[in-house]
Structure 1
């Protein structure tokens, strides 16, 4: 019998350019994590620590001057001045050590492929200009999350960013209290979405 486990995750969008992120690991998995961070937030302040950093990681970060690479073993002191921790290591002992030390410092942590050690997950993200949509299946099916991402990327027109800019300008021009503004924006949004082809 399939258990009905409700998705308890709360979606947030972090301003990574204002935070300091530590990534422990220098492998292909680390590259995936880096790519997810930097494609969405190119000015993220990321420090990478790993005994070995593969050439692909070094090549990738050349375009991101806010990323620092340290090819050495992890030390507890690496957690001293960070806000967020990501671990891309296949060393179970090291993973648990970093998890324990992070919790002592009240740091949120993500450990690749170890949901029981994670405080947060990196979900699939649809990006169209200023519009970003996060997708989570609560770890049930990354394949479905990927497919939904593909469907949304195809369905949402590139012009959606123009619509967002227009709505932002309109919001600034509207008069009245909050309720009046919401009603006016809703009316304009309905018209715009109809013109865009029933998004």
Structure 2
């Protein structure tokens, strides 16, 4: 009898957690209260173009501030079906204290195939907003699939406390190094080697050490890429004063060029 393969067990009932790129895309927010303020901030952090539909008198202080600062476009009235006629709308976020009106907007979005989120009504949501921890390029979202938002916030705070305080800066450094690496090894067939080498780099240095890497350090580190090696931190720092340190160990001649040249 053949052995049972050890594959992951399917756990139905979840959501597909993805990072939705909405930079420069239009998001329509219906409502101007506290919940709407949180939704708006999420979208602005993602560089979306936000339009808020709500009577001016119903805007809470934060939303009113976003309007006054020109961070969002404001339509001073209640929602109208014609607000959805704009074909450039990427998503609709509804946060009003009117269940009947919310359901009507939800149905209109379905007719137009526009992804929508109706606050506090999981059954009328194409996607959920989780509790998010943000540290520069690092984003961690905790979702309970709409079942326990407050619990999600508690779990998010617990996770955040376990992270290094400089995690965001370290990730920023890794990102800069990846960009530089793609410049010297841009071919698609270089992909596996790039990934393998970046894995070695990520495992070789601590968070604090990664944060301390200067532009010069990254350029010197890239000199080791052709050989697939990663120097010790002391060896890398030694190259600050003498770039020729470790020269004999860096190149194996197979590439025929010097990355540091």
Q: Above 0.5 in TM-score?
A: yes
Whether the aligned pair in 2 keeps the contact of 1:53 and 1:71 (CA below 8 Å) is no
How many equivalent pairs are there?
190
Is the contact between residue 167 and residue 207 of structure 2 (CA under 8 Å) also seen in structure 1?
no
Work out the CA distance in 2 between the residues paired with 1:29 and 1:163.
32
The answer as to whether partners of 2:32 and 2:60 remain within 8 angstroms in 1 is no
Larger deviation: 169-178 or 98-107? Answer: 169-178
Alpha carbons of 1:36 and 1:166: their partners in 2 closer, same or farther (altered >3 Å)? Answer: closer
TM normalised by structure 2 equals: 0.64
Would the aligned equivalents of 1:135 and 1:149 in 2 still touch at CA under 8 Å?
A: yes
Cross-structure match for 1:37: 43
- Greater radius of gyration (CA): 2
Structure 1 window deviating more from structure 2 (14-23 vs 168-177): it is 168-177
Q: Which residue does 1:17 correspond to in 2?
A: 23
Name 2:105's counterpart in structure 1.
Answer: 98
Say whether 1:75 aligns with 2:88: no
- TM-score normalised to the size of structure 1? 0.82
Quote how far apart the aligned CAs of 1:195 are: 5.7
Question: 1:112 Cα shift?
Answer: 0.5
Shift of residue 130, structure 1, vs aligned partner: 1.0
Normalized per residue, which structure has more strand? 1
Structure 1 position 127, deviation (Å): 0.8
Structure 1 residue ranges without an equivalent (≥5): none
Q: Which residue of 2 aligns with 1:190?
A: 203
For CA contacts below 8 A with separation 6 or more, give which structure has more relative contact order: 1
Unaligned runs of 5+ in 2: 1-10, 210-261
Q: CA RMSD in A?
A: 2.5
